[in-house]
Every structure is written in structure tokens, then in C-alpha cells.
Amino acid sequence: MSDKIYNVLFLCTGNSARSILAEAILNKVGEGRFRAFSAGSHPAGQVNPLAIELLKRNHMPTEGLRSKSWDEFAGPDSPHLDFVFTVCDNAAGEVCPVWPGQPMTAHWGLEDPAAVEGSVEARQHAFSQALLILHRRISLFASLPIAKLDGMALKHELDEIGRGHRGES
């Protein structure tokens, strides 16, 4: 049994909603096996209040969550990253920094709840849907026997999770 703690970075453009939700979810469901971070290529500078409200309502950690640049994770003093997941289409197509340690990467894109316009209820529903999708994907990821899978098998599993082929409809 491995006692390794895996460092995971979730990326999005603004780092105000999806990547923030993913960071909080993995820090909760990862049960100490994972340390999650989030960042953006063009950070919004603040976390969307609907994201914080939803996380609190679902008893997820919100302490220390902030919108930040992915540059914070590309330097020599940055945490060694084991996995980097993009959760929005924009970040997946951008040129990413060179990550120290060559982490395994996958794209788990989903629609931006912060882009939804309309009533408060419609916006809250969009955030709830994003949380549900991310929770499913992250729970599947956290349940993988990472230490027992070879690199190709693990990469396949990560890609399948992002495509929604592992329990997501």
C-alpha cells in the first residue's frame, strides 16, 4: 500500500468556478491521498461567489481558495505535480507552461457555469450541474488504483473519465 500523496492541478482560463470546484472536491473526497490545487491561464482575480456558496452548502472546504495564475505552479519552488487536468475547453487549447516532473495530463472539459446568464436560479443550477459532473469524475479518479496501473493504462482511464465513459451520462 502506497502512502504517496498525489499533487493534482486543475486548470481553467479564469480559475473562478470549475477549477475551484474541482480543487475543493478532490481535497474533500481524496481523503488525504491527494492534494489539489487550481489555477488559470488568465485568472479572474476572484472566486465566483456562487462557487463558494455552493461549496459551503455541500460541506466542501473553501479556506484558502483564490483565483491565481498557473505560473505559480511552473517554477522550481512549486509543488511537484503528479496530475494536471484541464476542465475548460479554452485552457486545453492553450500552450501550457512546462510542468516540473512531467505530470500525467488529461482534459475533463465542461461548460462554464459562470458564463450562464439569466435568473439567480438558472445560474445556481448551472453551478450545481458543474459540481455534480466534477464530483463524479473526481470520485472515479480518486478510486483508481493509481499505484497498480502502468502509465498507458492510467492515461486511458483518465481520458475515459474526461469523455464521460466511466459512469457519467
164 a catalytic residue: no
> Nearest-CA neighbor of 85 among 69, 70, 106, 65?
106
- Give residue 66's Cα distance to chain centre: 14
> Does residue 91 sit in helix, strand or coil?
helix
CB atoms within 10 A of CB 75: 9
Q: Of 9, 11, 12, 55, which residue is the catalytic one?
A: 12
12 a catalytic residue: yes
> Does residue 49 sit in helix, strand or coil?
helix
Contact predicate 120/7, CB 8 Å: no
2 Cβ partners below 8 Å, 6+ apart?
A: 146, 147
Q: Of 44, 52, 74, 96, which residue is the catalytic one?
A: 96
**Burial of residue 166, with CB atoms counted within 10 A of its CB: 0-12 exposed, 13-18 middle, 19 or more buried:** middle
Task: List the beta bridge partners of residue 7.
Answer: 35
88 a catalytic residue: yes
Q: Of 88, 114, 130, 146, which residue is the catalytic one?
A: 88
- Residues noted as catalytic: 12, 88, 96
